[in-house]
Amino acid sequence: MEVTAHRFAAPPEVLSRASLGNGSPRLSGDLSVWGFLPRYHVAYYTCPAWSNFALLCIDPHRETVEVQTFHWYNEDYDKGYQGIVGVAEVPGQDLLIVSIQRDSHPVLYDPSVRRKVGQIGLAGRAGNPRLYFRRTANELWADDYDTIVKVDPESWSVPAARRLQRAAPQCAQFIGEFAFDSSEAVCAVARPFSGDVIGLDPGTLRIRYRCTTGGQPLEVGILEDRRVFARDWKSGALLKGQLRRRWMS
């Protein structure tokens, strides 16, 4: 298992490396970069004694790399069906949020005591939640299959949610990834089954903009001028366009 840090301006250059594998865990290079990067990562880890999803913990101050197993990730989950999606650090707290496939209840986890301390209820849509803490508002955003969800990090309650993708006859359909522009004035959401990217008002969750990309956009990025770039779900082709004002929402 290895995590490396790079500059956008020079992707091939490795600034720092955190690794686990043969020999001792190792942290090398410019350790100051970890002050700007996530220090916790999830991966499926295999060693002679066991194999499972595990948490990689990078501590640049102690110059250590540590692996933790999730004791709560047990027979309560169908491990052939429910892997771990990812992890997000809670700003200002020593807590992590771990999301699980096909599960609307991300787990609150304290890595200092290696213990589950709670969970968050999303929209009940059994999605594969991706998590994002906004910089300009005290909000956690998540997607839950076909629904975008706003969570209050003080109470872990859900003040707002909006379903963004209609179901087909006898078949539910999911939304793709979401992303904010640099000022967080617009949230772009890819919709692979609608062949478009929509732009949400972060305050109201209303659809203010739309861009027909064609194909099946799954991954998405948005620039400040509302240009969007997406990756097609099945072909991997680059899709791009401009969000245009949509008056009906």
Mean pLDDT, each 10-residue run in order, the chain (249 residues): 95 95 84 95 88 94 93 94 96 96 98 97 97 98 98 98 93 96 98 98 97 98 98 97 83
| Residue 76 contacts residue 91 (beta carbons within 8 Å) | no
pLDDT of residue 50: 85
List of long-range contacts for 17-21, beta carbons under 8 Å, 24+ apart: 18/56, 18/58, 18/65, 19/65, 20/45, 20/56, 20/65, 20/67
Structure confidence by residue, pLDDT tens digits, 189-235? 999 999 999 999 999 999 999 999 999 999 999 999 999 999 999 99
pLDDT of residue 77: 95
pLDDT of residue 23: 66
pLDDT of residue 248: 58
Measuring CA to CA, which residue among 243, 231, 226 is closest to residue 182?
226
